[in-house]
Structure 1
Amino acid sequence: MELRERLQAAVKEAMKAKQAERLSTLRMVTSAIKDREIAARGEGGEVGENDILALLGKMVKQRQESAKAYAAGARPELEAKELNEIAVINEFLPQQVTGADLEAAIAAAVAEAGASSIKDMGRVMAVLKAKYTGMMDFGAVGALIKAQLG
């Protein structure tokens, strides 16, 4: 089932089950996707699965930062809300690549891009983003790429 269809089905299920918080998060996600589609129409492009996965990953990252800020500000109720939203969004993201698999993926991308120095980091990132969109935290991956190239 396509990601958009899974989201729509989840919205319907949340409505039927009267899960207000889950429904709110799912509607926020679908709204963000529609906003992206409208912006892409103006540019003559189309929003694909990888674009949606990247958007979901960005939304998770934003909520993680907000949760940290709320925790630092002693606002546990708002932190819990952000963490609940992260859990709902993560249901639609593929499993994250971590540990040895992450190291192997980076090594393969370095080899595929023919990278030999830090100057080639952009090419390595492009290879990884093409294959692992939504499956990696590319902010953290940058440091690992530098370690392998440096």
Structure 2
Amino acid sequence: MFIDYFLSRIIKIFVPKIVDTKLISVEIFSDTQFETNNWGISEPVSNEDSEVLDFDFVITPLLYCDFKGNRVGYGKGFYDQFFENISKNSKKIGVNYFNPDDMIDDIWENDITLDYLVTPTEVLSFSSKSE
């Protein structure tokens, strides 16, 4: 499990949680208590926002991503709002079961693209910056 791996190497981990109408990042530790929310997702009991804005990586689930890094999620814009407020140097990584096939044509002006997409078969880069 990723979380156990990172905790054993003293790597800080933050997980998303929706509080009211905002996605916050909650830092988790080996003794963090979790509960199941209304969507059946395990999340920390704490509602304390870490207020960290400078992440190395933000890994986000999604429904679909096209070849330009445009995402389709669940339509609430939580990740777009979150991405807008974090460091521009934070790498945004989508995780999905599917490779891009079709282009997304209903892009919202405030949509923020991914830097990378990880699928079971490949890792795609959408970043125009040299690494």
Shared fold per TM-score greater than 0.5? no
Q: TM-score range by the shorter chain?
A: under 0.3
TM-score normalised according to structure 2 size:
0.27
